[in-house]
Amino acid sequence: MSAEETSASTWRKRTLSENMLFGMGNPLLDISAVVDKDFLDKFGLKPNDQILAEDKHKALFEEIVKRNKVEYHAGGSTQNSVKIAQWMIQEPHKVATFFGCIGADHFGKILKKKAEEAHVDAHYYEQSEEPTGTCAACITGDNRSLVANLAAANCYKKEKHLDLDSNWELVKKAKVYYIAGFFLTVSPESIIKVAKHASDNNKIFCMNLSAPFISQFFKEPLMKVMPYVDILFGNETEAATFASVLGFETDDIAEIAKRTQELPKENPDRRRVVVFTQGKDDTVATVGEKVTMFPVLDIDQNDIVDTNGAGDAFVGGFLSALVQEHALEECIRAGHYAAHVIIRRVGCTFPEKPEYH
């Protein structure tokens, strides 16, 4: 390592400390398997979607584990993102903190072990009423249909976990916060508490539209949090649904980004940034007054193994640069890199070290 590189890495480590990045969400164990169209049809699934499990999906979880080549990975959208951010940062360990609810069971133990291996400082609220949540990733070609059975993840309680002094101290240590929209179905009051803290202390609060159903069926809690959102993420489908729910009457993604940026905001000192990814097409982001397109890294379609986790990975890469106070362009570049790595692998997994400069 040259002297220049050494000083660059110590500079980076000096500016980063434990618990600087805070995430809270639904910790799930991903169960992924390649399925066929008949399997999707049997359970009424679209090839590319994410939904919450209903009674009719109970059998799906029993069936998918019996299929050949099932893979288990620690998952849940926010947990994936903070884990990838930590992987991009490498050192120091535990820059990323994660809160969520699990069961006192075998799957819960796996999640704890995986968080530890990823050097994420996970503080789970453990309860024994419900088992640890799972998410079935039904893969066909380069599509993935996600069915989440939240179970324990749905049992997160603000007063039993977030409000405890020792946990709230960890929240206060952070300077960047990230919560996926999925958590709006679980504990909107926890999100508001964290979002207000960020806003009152001029810290950065980030959120994700996460899935079309969030805008459609959880619009009220989503719009209650929106005034505190400094950076909003989403993909093109989620952006279009959000726009139609809010009556924007446009399907132009750049226009949707602009209109979203202009929604009411609590902390006027930070202008809202809106970032919409579009798969292999350019990422769209508001930069000051204008909307800019950022091309993603080229990839041969044959190299794409699994697009599940690409969005989470983009956010993770973005957050790793954001917490180091890099410019927006650099955050997007880091996001593109992380997504580029993740789509070449099954599940939201990564090699030992990033090759990113």
Write out the catalytic residue numbers: 312
DSSP label at residue 268: T
Q: Which two tokens stand for residue 40?
A: 């999707």
User: Within 13 Å of residue 244, how many CA atoms lie on the same side as its CB?
Assistant: 11
Structural tokens at position 355: 């090759």
Residues 82 and 120: their CA atoms lie apart, in Å, by 8
Q: In the chain, what is the straight-line distance between the N-terminal and C-terminal CA atoms, in Å?
A: 14
Three-state SS for 203-267 is: CEEEEECCCHHHHHHCHHHHHHHHHHCCEEEEEHHHHHHHHHHCCCCCCCHHHHHHHHHCCCCCC
Residue in this structure with the two tokens 């910790």, named with its chain if needed: 27
Q: Are strands 96-103 and 133-140 parallel, antiparallel or unpaired?
A: unpaired
Strands 143-149 and 133-140: antiparallel
Compute the distance between CA of residue 85 and CA of residue 200 in angstroms, rounded to an integer: 25
With beta carbons less than 8 A apart as the criterion, state whether 154 and 190 touch.
no
| Helical spans, DSSP H, in the chain | 3-15, 37-42, 58-64, 77-89, 106-117, 165-173, 188-200, 212-217, 219-225, 236-245, 253-261, 310-322, 328-342
- Token representation of residue 166: 């020792």
